C-alpha cells in the first residue's frame, strides 16, 4: 500500500522538477520588460507580451536572417549524410565490399574524438581553403559529422535484407546503381527518415560549429544568432532573449511531435 502511494508521488515530484525550467521560460518570456525582475522570476505574468518579445527578437535581434541559412544546413547536410550512409551500408552489405568492416570502422571512428579536439585544425583548414564563413563550408562540416551515425544505422538496417534480393536483381539484368536506387533505397525509407530527423535536429540546435566557423549574419546558424541576442553592447532585454530562445526551439519540438511514429519505427528497424 505504501509503495502504491510513494511511487506516484515520487514520479509527480520528478515531473514537476523537470517542468520547472519550462515554466520559468514561458512565464518570463511572456512578461513585459518593465515587469521583469530577477527576484520575481517565479511570479506569474501580468501583461501578456510573448508575441511582442518574439517579434523584437526576430526583427531587432536578427533571427530572421539566420533562419534561411539554418534551414539550408539542417536539410542539405543531413540529406547528403543519409545518402552517403545508405551507399556505404549498401556497399558493405549487398556488394560485400572487401574489408568492409574496416571501412565502416574508419568512417564511424570519427565519432571517437570530441568535436572540441578538432576545432582549431578545422578552423585553420577552413581559413586556408577560403571556405570559412561560407554556406558551402557549413554544409560540408554538417554533412561530414552526420555521416557516421547514418552509416551505422543504414548498415544495421540493410544487414537485415536478404542477400537473395540483390542476387535476384542481378539475375534480372539490373545494374548496381539501379539496384541501389530502385530497390534498396525505397526499402530503407523509414530508417532514412528517422536518421534525417535526428540529424536535422542536431544541426538545427548546433552552437559550437556555428561560433567557430561562421561570422557574418548571412552565414551564421540560428543558435549562434540566438546566443548573440544579449551581449555586452546593445543586447536585447532578457524577456526578448527568452522569447527568442523559445522561438528557435519550437520547430524541432513540432518536428518530433509530428513524426514520432515514423521516427520510432525507423530506429527500431535500424536495430541499434
pLDDT confidence of residue 269: 56
> Each residue of 190-215: pLDDT tens digit?
888 888 988 898 899 888 898 889 88
Q: What are phi and psi of 125, to 5 degrees?
A: -65, -40
pLDDT confidence of residue 233: 44
What's the start-to-end Cα distance of the chain, in Å?
39
pLDDT confidence of residue 3: 66
pLDDT confidence of residue 80: 93
Domain-wise residue ranges, the chain: 66-213+265-269
Residue 103 near residue 178 (C-beta atoms within 8 A): no
Mapped onto helix, strand or coil, the DSSP state of residue 230 is coil
Domain 66-213+265-269 in this protein, CATH class: mainly alpha
> Each residue of 94-141: pLDDT tens digit?
888 888 788 888 888 777 778 888 888 889 999 999 999 999 999 999
pLDDT confidence of residue 232: 44
Residue 247 near residue 54 (C-beta atoms within 8 A): yes
pLDDT, block means (10 residues), the chain with 272 residues: 75 86 82 72 75 81 80 92 89 82 81 82 90 92 90 84 83 85 85 87 89 87 81 64 84 79 62 46
Cell of 52: 511582442
Rounded CA-CA distance 180/172 in Å is 14
Rounded CA-CA distance 40/37 in Å is 5
Residue 235 near residue 229 (C-beta atoms within 8 A): yes
Amino acid at each position: 500500500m505504501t509503495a502504491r502511494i510513494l511511487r506516484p508521488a515520487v514520479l509527480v515530484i520528478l515531473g514537476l522538477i523537470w517542468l520547472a525550467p519550462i515554466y520559468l521560460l514561458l512565464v518570463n518570456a511572456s512578461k513585459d520588460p518593465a515587469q521583469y525582475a530577477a527576484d520575481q522570476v517565479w511570479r506569474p505574468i501580468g501583461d501578456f507580451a510573448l508575441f511582442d518579445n518574439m517579434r523584437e527578437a526576430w526583427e531587432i535581434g536578427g533571427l530572421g536572417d539566420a533562419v534561411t541559412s539554418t534551414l539550408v544546413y539542417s536539410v542539405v547536410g543531413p540529406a547528403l549524410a543519409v545518402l552517403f550512409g545508405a551507399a556505404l551500408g549498401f556497399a558493405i552489405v549487398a556488394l560485400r565490399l572487401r574489408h568492409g568492416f574496416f571501412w565502416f570502422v574508419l568512417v564511424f571512428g570519427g565519432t571517437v574524438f570530441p568535436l572540441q579536439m578538432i576545432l582549431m585544425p578545422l578552423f585553420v583548414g577552413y581559413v586556408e581553403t577560403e571556405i570559412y564563413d561560407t554556406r558551402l563550408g557549413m554544409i560540408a562540416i554538417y554533412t561530414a559529422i552526420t555521416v557516421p551515425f547514418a552509416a551505422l544505422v543504414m548498415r544495421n538496417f540493410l544487414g537485415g535484407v536478404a542477400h537473395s534480393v540483390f542476387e535476384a536483381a542481378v539475375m534480372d539484368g539490373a545494374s548496381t546503381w539501379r539496384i541501389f536506387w530502385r530497390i534498396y533505397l525505397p526499402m530503407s525509407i523509414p530508417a532514412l527518415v528517422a536518421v534525417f530527423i535526428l540529424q536535422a535536429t542536431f544541426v538545427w540546435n548546433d552552437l559550437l560549429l556555428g561560433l567557430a566557423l561562421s561570422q557574418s549574419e548571412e552565414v551564421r546558424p540560428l543558435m549562434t544568432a540566438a546566443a548573440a541576442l544579449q551581449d555586452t553592447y546593445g543586447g536585447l532585454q532578457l524577456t526578448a532573449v527568452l522569447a527568442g530562445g523559445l522561438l528557435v526551439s519550437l520547430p524541432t519540438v513540432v518536428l518530433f511531435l509530428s513524426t514520432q511514429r515514423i521516427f520510432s519505427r525507423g530506429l527500431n528497424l535500424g536495430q541499434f
